[in-house]
Copies of this chain bind each other. A is one copy, B any other.
Amino acid sequence: MCTPKACVHSGYKMIIVMKQNAKKESIKNIIRIIEDKGLSAHISDGKEVTIIGVVGDKTKLHDQNLEIAPEVERIVPVTESYKLANKKFHPEPSIVKVGNVSIGGGNLVIMSGPCAVESREQLFDTAHAIKKSGAQILRGGAYKPRTSPYAFQGLEEEGLKYMKEAREETGLAVVCEVTSLAAIESAVKYVDMLQIGARNMQNFYLLKEAGKTGLPVLLKRGLSATIDEWLNAAEYIIAEGNPNVVLCERGIRTFETATRNTLDISAVPVIKSKSHLPIIVDPSHATGVREYVNPLARCAVAAGADGLMIETHPNPAIALSDGPQSLTFPQFEELCQELRPFAELMGRKF
């Protein structure tokens, strides 16, 4: 593993393919641009086609628009554009501490709670119930991003206070979504971990502000974000000096309508192969249907996820948000029982 500073400046590479029979001066022009920026160029001068391999810190060329320089056919990036989140420079899996809970390593961390904090009583009932079943982190939305402005938008700071109280009463760590700088400024006073939701995954301003807090950040995947973009979003947070990022797969948008989103379970092994960051799975939001939560939670464990986020509610039928996918407490207890032997097979405990 290299240190962050060094990582950024180590050897990033790309390949420049020149157009067939490109003129010598066009090739020289490219080489000049590369070398001016302090990188080196290796030329493969074929009979028909010239290929230039670039060695050095690729980020220095970000603003050069080489792809439209004269007679360039295409640019092929050989290395990823994220570095601090990249496994190549940090081969050991990271472990992120949230309160006294470790995400990554041999734990299977279950986060649970209501989609939206509705009342002190609802939250406390939930906190006690999920703790009893084995959850280690309490989730609960105080700022709810809702498609329609007429839907319930959350209790805001009042909700955060209940979260803190629930933590004090139960010892659970608590995580809450933040949707603005103002929300971050409130949340840091009350919670152990900030959540950036799917709709804000490329709200780069928010990512930076969350990064600056130093608090662990749960970064949900955007509804149509590629894994590459997701890791670049994580890079925004880490680049602020905050390496405590946990990724959360929660389904992507496709043409299928039987589930609310399509859980991209492959994201778990792909992330494990490309990054050192822990990844958890949220089958509740991914499907939007209660009866699919258990099978997909088992999948997540079997795929190698470091944890799960499961929505629970004392009485889903009257939940102010996302009731159809919430588990009751007995259902949650049953799920935890069901998951334990799968976790064990994967060498994880909870």
Contacts and interface: CB of A to CB of B under 8 A. Distances in A.
Interface of A: 8, 11, 13, 15, 17, 40, 42-49, 51, 53, 55, 59, 62-65, 67-70, 73-74, 76, 78, 81-82, 143, 145-152, 179-183, 199-200, 202-206, 223-224, 226-229, 232, 235-236, 239, 252-259, 262-270, 273-274, 286-287, 290-292, 295-296, 298-299, 301-304, 316-321, 323-324, 341-342, 345
B291 A295 contact: no
Contact of A11 (B42, B48, B65): B48
Given A42-B51, A59-B150, A266-B287, 13 more contacts: A15-B51, A47-B55, A51-B51, A51-B53, A68-B324, A147-B202, A149-B204, A149-B235, A226-B258, A254-B262, A258-B270, A295-B302, A342-B345
Given A48-B55, A150-B8, A302-B295, A78 B17 contact: yes
A148 B64 CA distance: 15
A317 B68 contact: yes
Given A229-B147, A303-B299, A342-B302, A259 B266 contact: yes
Given A223-B224, A263-B265, A296 B286 contact: no
B55 A236 contact: no
A266 B255 contact: no
A21 B179 CA distance: 43
Contacts of A224: 223-224, 253, 255
Identical subunits present: 4
Q: Which of A15, A73, A74, A229 has the most CB of B within 10 A?
A: A15
Given A318-B65, A342-B345, A266 B286 contact: yes
A270 to B, nearest CB: 5
30 contacts: A15-B17, A51-B51, A51-B53, A65-B323, A65-B324, A68-B317, A68-B323, A70-B317, A73-B78, A74-B78, A81-B148, A149-B235, A183-B205, A203-B206, A227-B258, A228-B258, A252-B256, A263-B266, A265-B265, A266-B286, A266-B287, A266-B296, A268-B295, A269-B296, A296-B303, A298-B302, A298-B303, A299-B302, A299-B303, A345-B345
A65 B317 contact: yes
Contacts of A303: 295-296, 298-299
A151 B63 contact: yes
B53 A148 contact: no
Nearest to A272: B295
A183 B209 CA distance: 14
A239 B150 CA distance: 9
A303 B283 CA distance: 12
Contacts of A43: 44
A85 B286 CA distance: 26
Given A269-B292, A296-B266, A232 B200 contact: no
Contacts of A180: 181, 205-206
A229 to B, nearest CB: 6
A218 to B, nearest CB: 18
Nearest to A64: B318
Contact of A199 (B64, B76, B203, B267): B203
